[in-house]
Structure 1
Amino acid sequence: MTQRRTRFTMRAAAVLGLFGLPAALLTAPAAQATTSQCAYTWIPGAVYGEVTDVTLISQGRTLKLWNDKGADLYSYAEITSGYQSGDQVWIDRSYNHMPLGDRHPSNLQVDMNGGWFQCGPFSRRYSGVVNSWHYAVRACMRPVNGISHCGRWNVDQ
């Protein structure tokens, strides 16, 4: 399924390129994650640091991506200000490790590297924790009565 979706996305992106439309308009939707892919829980004693260049501010909320700074293996998303009951937050993660070098790949680059899954959504201030070492991850939210927004992809290398 993912291979067919990726091939379709690549072909459609090429066609859209002929018409001068951005390929980002055609990114494939994320697959829903299995329980085991999102089974990580809060790691006791872990120290998380904000990934400052991927913070998203939208509809009166601030969404941040946090990376584990000890073992450097995990990430989670959090609405750090403006949270309202009913807001949803989740984290997207690539299925495969990303090539080293580009810390902020595009949707198309993540698609071409096998796609991604969505861990969530959670109707609370923070998402579940995912293994992020060498994977592309991004923080996403859907404010109550609003539309979904995601920050930039980040690869923790």
Structure 2
Amino acid sequence: MVSTIGIISLSSGIIGEDFVKHEVDLGVQRLKDLGLNPIFLSHSLKGLDFIKEHPEARAEDLIQAFSDDSIDIILCAIGGDDTYRLLPYLFENDQLENVIKQKIFLGFSDTTMNHLMLHKLGIKTFYGQSFLADICELDKEMLLHFLKTF
């Protein structure tokens, strides 16, 4: 049974900014209302500058998400434009390959790079919703449609 969702910032750190805190809080509550347990990976809420300047921390979060057996779904916070910078940190000494296991991985946009990388490692992924754009920001009418497909 799916219960814990690990929210991860692999591209943009926008969910760590004060000006979107109300949306993040709304998204967390919506997931809890569905009976899910949302958690944020260690660096996910550190903000735009930190996330941009530390691809190694983003890679560490992805490795942790696959290592942690309590996490059922890895949900990308949002897209962005520089996920490719994680690759050296994920494949150095086969770090990601050593912990990889089938989990639900969900995201879109810049996350396409992650989908390709995980596909190459034999993981099936879902190109779809993100936390900020689809759970936090949808109005109630669209949210009901989304929940039917989630």
Q: Normalised by the size of structure 2, how large is the TM-score?
A: 0.22
When you count strand as a share of all residues, which structure comes out higher?
1
From the CA coordinates, give the structure whose radius of gyration is larger: 1
User: Higher helix fraction: Structure 1 or Structure 2?
Assistant: 2
